Amino acid sequence: MSQTQAAEPASKEFEFEAMNLQVGGRLQFITHRTIKPAQHFSTLIGWVKDEYMIVRIPMEHGAAIALAEGDKVTIRAFSGVNVCSFASTVVRVFPRPVNYVHITFPTSIQGTSLRAAMRVKVDIPVQVTPEHYNAQPMNMFMVNLSVSGALVESPRRIPMGCETVKLSFTLIQNPGNHQVIVNTRASIKNVSAAAGGPAGIGETFSYGVQFLDLEPTHYTLLQNITYEALIADRQKIV
């Protein structure tokens, strides 16, 4: 698959609703207390429209970062389609044990549109069960992942004519590194085979699948995984 990056799309103005924010979703929280802005990750707690937003105070080395009323911050959010950012100001700090902060509600939101099916390189074991074939689960590996689907690979072939499968795999949810088991149906959109194995012996089958009934919480988790890869390690973007 080509790794050539397309030209960066132009920035444009977005409405608040276009960010598709979800309570519990991850945000990038950028402080400007030093010459070089410091990037952290935070979690959205909620908001009162046109008044303020409530977010977790980012943690660093096991402790909440230092924040004071009046501090300027930049917030970035990823909707799964758009990367949006806005300037904000710390209104009130609620320290331990709650560790959250009120920041001003955005008045101007800038963002760029990204392709909805942006994929992230992964290496995740996945159990694939063909539907309607009385087949046993097959152990495969997921090699890239998006909010809409995935690419799975295996030296074993899914039965010819199979159009839908059941998938079961585990994702890691931050903060806390919690394991989340994802069970979903998927349709097979394409299949290819390439030489593989020792000395090129045998074949490796690749299946592009589209999720059919992904739970909303799992969709949000996939959004966060894609967003964090976009911000922290662009080499993982396919």
Backbone angles phi, psi at 161, to 5 degrees: 85, -10
CA distance 95 to 101: 8
> Is the entire prediction scored with pTM above 0.75?
no
pLDDT at 81: 67
Domain co-membership, 23 together with 95: yes
pLDDT at 4: 32
Q: Which residue has the tokens 């303020």?
A: 52
> What is the helix (H) or strand (E) element at residue 221, kind and residue range?
helix 216-232
In a domain, 2, yes or no: no
CB 65 within 8 A of CB 73: no
pLDDT at 77: 85
In a domain, 132, yes or no: yes
Domain co-membership, 134 together with 208: yes
pLDDT at 1: 34
CA distance 206 to 199: 19
pLDDT at 3: 33
CB 40 within 8 A of CB 28: yes
CA distance 154 to 38: 41
In a domain, 23, yes or no: yes
pLDDT at 238: 63
Domain co-membership, 67 together with 136: no
Domain co-membership, 165 together with 194: yes
pLDDT at 84: 87
In a domain, 3, yes or no: no
pLDDT at 67: 96
In the listed set 94, 113, 132, which residue is the last one of a domain according to the structure?
Answer: 113
In a domain, 204, yes or no: yes
- Residue 145's closest CA among 167, 112, 178? 167
- Residue 75's closest CA among 64, 89, 65, 61? 89
pLDDT at 61: 87
In a domain, 148, yes or no: yes
Angle at 34 between CA 33 and CA 40, to 5 degrees: 70
Which amino acid would we find at residue 88?
S
CA distance 101 to 93: 5
**pLDDT tens digits along 186-225:** 999 999 988 755 445 568 899 999 999 888 888 878 877 7
Domain co-membership, 85 together with 177: no
- Residue 186's closest CA among 142, 149, 143, 223? 149
Domain co-membership, 90 together with 152: no
Domain co-membership, 174 together with 105: no
Here the CATH number for the domain that contains residue 138 is 2.40.10.220
What parts of the chain have a pLDDT lower than 70?
Answer: 1-10, 79-81, 113-117, 133, 174-176, 196-202, 230-238
- Give the chain's domain count: 2
Range of the structural domain that residue 212 is part of? 120-236
Domain co-membership, 79 together with 170: no
pLDDT at 199: 45
CB 56 within 8 A of CB 93: no
Q: What three-state secondary structure class fits 229?
A: helix
Domain co-membership, 133 together with 214: yes
In a domain, 232, yes or no: yes
Domain co-membership, 73 together with 34: yes
In the listed set 49, 82, 113, which residue is the last one of a domain according to the structure?
Answer: 113
Q: Is the peptide bond before 130 cis (omega within 30 degrees of 0)?
A: no
Q: What is the CA radius of gyration of the chain?
A: 21
Domain co-membership, 167 together with 105: no
Domain co-membership, 212 together with 143: yes
CA distance 183 to 221: 13
Beta bridge partners of 2: none
In the listed set 65, 89, 113, which residue is the last one of a domain according to the structure?
Answer: 113
Here the CATH number for the domain that contains residue 65 is 2.30.110.10
In a domain, 5, yes or no: no
**pLDDT tens digits along 140-152:** 999 999 888 999 9
